[in-house]
Structure 1
Amino acid sequence: MAKEKLGVLCSGRGTDLQSIIDAIEAGQVPAEIAIVLTDKEAYALERARKAGIEAVCVDRKQFEGREPFEKALIEKLEAAGVTLVVLAGFMRILTPYFVGHFAGRIMNIHPALLPSFPGAHAHRDVLAYGVKVSGCTVHFVDEGTDSGPIIMQAAVPVLDDDTEETLGARVLKEEHRIYPECIRLYCEGKLKVEGRKVTILA
């Protein structure tokens, strides 16, 4: 069976990307990363290049509006033969134009237990609200913001003396554990989606 070809979109350091690279190299995920794209210069590009993966910055500022930018992303992904788009710290909201093009084939990880605390400042919002448990969520992407069907979640305690940095570090460890696992399940055809519900098949 042909391996899934991943297109990974990043905006920052690329630690989630690294966890996926490591899992693939260890033989834990039956996929290959065909291309890594960023919307600005980011260390994720360096991580990809060190692993021998094509890495391209598609600078958002070079485009007039979101659709031309997304069209450029789609062209790069299609040219690389990508079958699953993986968002790994990609800090742009994707429009229905992009989501529709890869419908059912976009995965994201969010650093909170959705549907609580969506958006770009999850750790800050978690601490401000005073909840006792946080974590991360892997989900399929739909046309909303962090609103797609949930694949897997992992929880961590929120400690009384937590800062955004200490909470973020604890959550990140779980991200690095469950994101490659969800990609593996997708590649093995073990994720069944019915409406909002994702069932993991045996």
Structure 2
Amino acid sequence: MTIRNIIGSVLALIGATAAVWSPFRGWYDGRRGRYYRVEDLFNGITATRSDLAASILLPLAFAALVTLIGLVLRSRPLVALAGLVVLGFTVLWMVRQGQEAGSLVVGGDGSGLGDGVALAVGGGVLLLVASVVMSGRRRREALEEPPGYGPTGYGAPGYGPPEYGPAGHEPPEHGPGPDRWDESPPGRS
């Protein structure tokens, strides 16, 4: 595992943790993210409180699961997808909340946008940065031996043992070869 993968993995884990922790913090006017229903993101924000399993935590936890799978597989696209899911749902929530409240504000007294939104946005950004930092897996072609190299380990691709020259050529007419052990060299009786 390369240093880039280690740094990317640490960033991805921090980002996923921030995203999953964010619904337990205040999102707007002190209302925690876990009280927003997922369906509110598509139908408009309501005052109805949500169960934890149907809250905005659901897509963020899904993104964390995708992150873990991406880290196990060392897949940069999966980690990036997780970051896009987190940012996408957070931005969608911000649009719906802005429609409901008329505008989004940040107040120093705890009113307006809360630190839960900042955690979600930060977590999504960290996931995207992690996907860029990670080197991912090496390509399968790079792991395989080039054609011509094999268990014998002779020279450049397409060449066999030194006494035979390029692959596909016949062994020399003189001298013993694997098929000519019983024959004597030419010119000798």
Superposed pair shares fold, TM > 0.5: no
Tell me: higher relative CO, structure 1 or 2? Use CA pairs within 8 A at least 6 residues apart.
2
More strand by share: 1
Structure number, greater radius of gyration:
2
TM-score, normalised on structure 1? Answer: 0.22
